[in-house]
Structures are given as C-alpha cells and as structure tokens.
Amino acid sequence: MKTKVKKAILPAAGLGTRFLPATKASPKEMLPIVDKPLIQYAVEESISCGIEEFIIITGKHKRAIEDHFDSAFELEEKLKVTGKSKLLKEINKWNQIKFAYIRQRAALGLGHAILCAEPFVRDEPFAVILSDDIIDPEYPLLKEMLKIYAEKKCPVIALEEVPISEVNRYGVIDGVQEGRVYKIKNLIEKPSPEKAPSNLAIIGRYILTPEIFEHLARQKPGAGGEIQLTDALKELVRKTPIYGYLIRGKRYDVGDKLGYLEATVDLALKNDELSKDFKDFLIKKIKTLS
Ligand code: G1P
C-alpha cells in the first residue's frame, strides 16, 4: 500500500434538509460563508495539508459544485477586460488541482458515499473531509492527523468533546487516552446520551486506509436507515488499530443554522476587507440589544 495521503474524498450528496428551503434546488455545500462556499473551505484546508486530488461525491442538484471548480470563460474575459486581476486569480486558482466527480445515485448515507469512491482510491490511504465542519486554520487539524497517520500507519479520526446531551448527533467513541490521541476500542453512531460510551464525538475529518471498503460493502443500513461509516469503523477496529485525535481549536458545525451564523461572524471578523466595518456594526448592534 502507498503511504502518502494525496487524495481526499468530499461527500457532497446529502439532501441538506437542515437548511431547507435554501437547499431545495441548490447544494448545501455551495452556501457561502462571507464570500466562499462551504466546500471551498474544505478544499483549501486540504490543499494546505498537501492533498493533491479531490474526489467529490455528488448527487441530484449538485452540478453547481462542478461549475464552481471549473473554468468560467465569459467571467474570466470580463474580469480581464475590467482589470480585476485579484478576482481573476481567485477564480482561476483551481486550474492545477485535480477534481473527479462521482454521482451517488441515491442518498444512502455517508458510508455508501465513501464506498462509491473505491475505484478511484484503490491501494492508497485517503482523507475524508465533511464540508459541514469548518476548522479554525490556526490549529490545522488535518495536518496534525496526517502526522499521526505517518507515525502509526493506521486510520485516524478527529474527535471533539461535546455536551452529553448532543451525542445523538454524532458518532461517539470509547477509547484509551494517550495525550491528545485515543486508541479506539469501540464506536457507536448517534447513540442516546444514556447509551453513549463517552462524550467524544467524531467530527468531519478522517484519514482512512483502503481496508475500510470491504467493511463498507458489507454494511446493512444503521442509524437513520443509512449505511454508516461509523459501523464499518466499528468492525475494522476489531482487526486493526484506529486512533482518535482530539481537536485543539474551534470547529464550526455549519450544517446547523446557529453554527453557520457563528462561523459567518467569526470569519467576517477575520476577513481583511470586512473586519473593521463589521466589528463597528457588531458593537453598535450589541448596544441596541442590551
Ligand atoms: C456524520 C457521521 C458521524 C459524525 C458526523 C460529524 O454524521 O456519520 O459519525 O459524527 O458526521 O459531522 P452526519 O452529520 O452526516 O449525520
């Protein structure tokens, strides 16, 4: 098996029901935070960690994702003529990056989406990036996970401590702690707080090895009637070590309306063009609220 992680799978076939009606006819992954769609944050984070190829799992109503990373002749010409070179550079920066798109014919779950990418991955380790989770770039989670993978040569999944009342929104692990790393013993998808083995939730960054595919192929529908990645990992951990890595910085669950608003505010405050005016606006606004 090759050992360097160069490919990332980005599942983007979900129905986006938490954001209806906005996501009825357009992809959730294209919702913008400030001026970039969610999926662009995931791609940029991956590129900064050395990922070179992207396999995006799409479905119905998801064509805008392909268009976003494609060239746009008319727009480029217009930007050239009007001298908007900074914007031109921004929209052209994908030319050197390899994207492949696979259509998941039915929304059968995260596990099934990843299984769809098997022919494009073959014998390589790969990352799985869920664009619902935006990670604070000050603490590059994926980079830290890749270091652990390079050392252990075993799957690594990202973890975050969440309030116990929220564990039913996540996959949850049971494991033995070694610093920020956990050696995983068991995993459960969306347990009730009573049945959860801990409050350590899986968040949307995984480094996986191709052995996962045989387990995914065997999975029956699990939580929510979907083929779950967590269930395949639960089988895999009986045969091979899997490590969990506890995130250090902030994660925004932008698949959730409140998380989306929090990310919008924080990233607008970090945006060079907007931060000053936006901060002034917020300060005034808060005064009117108190
Ligand atoms: C998926 C995974 C879950 C994980 C979560 C992280 O759930 O199945 O194990 O905790 O992503 O965001 P979803 O959010 O797709 O329901």
pLDDT digits (tens, 9 = 90+) for 164-199: 999 999 999 999 999 899 999 999 999 999 999 999
Residue 104: what are its φ and ψ, rounded to 5°? -85, 120
* C-alpha closest to that of 234 among 257, 245, 246, 218: 218
In testing the pocket of ligand 1, which one of 17, 169, 231 has its CB within 8 Å of the most ligand atoms?
A: 169
pLDDT band at 290 (very low <50, low <70, confident <90, very high): confident
* C-alpha closest to that of 42 among 99, 102, 81: 99
In this structure, are residues 175 and 185 in contact, taking their beta carbons and an 8 Å threshold? yes
Query: d(Cα 261, Cα 274) in Å, to the nearest integer?
Result: 16
In this structure, are residues 231 and 189 in contact, taking their beta carbons and an 8 Å threshold? yes
Q: Which CATH class is domain 7-255?
A: alpha beta
Kindly tell me if the per-residue pLDDT of 1 is higher than 80. Answer: no
Q: What percent of the chain has pLDDT over 90?
A: 83
In testing the pocket of ligand 1, which one of 19, 38, 130 has its CB within 8 Å of the most ligand atoms?
A: 130
Q: 23 CB under 6 A from ligand 1?
A: no
* C-alpha closest to that of 223 among 73, 110, 66: 110
Calculate how far, in angstroms, residue 168's C-alpha sits from the geometric centre of ligand 1: 10
Domain boundaries along the sequence of the chain: 7-255
For 62-77, what is each residue's pLDDT tens digit? 999 999 999 888 888 9
Query: d(Cα 183, Cα 185) in Å, to the nearest integer?
Result: 7
With a threshold of 0.85, does the pTM exceed it?
yes
- In this predicted structure, what is the pLDDT of residue 184? 98
Look up residue 142 and give its amino acid.
L
pLDDT band at 280 (very low <50, low <70, confident <90, very high): very high
- In this predicted structure, what is the pLDDT of residue 107? 87
Kindly tell me if the per-residue pLDDT of 92 is higher than 90. Answer: no
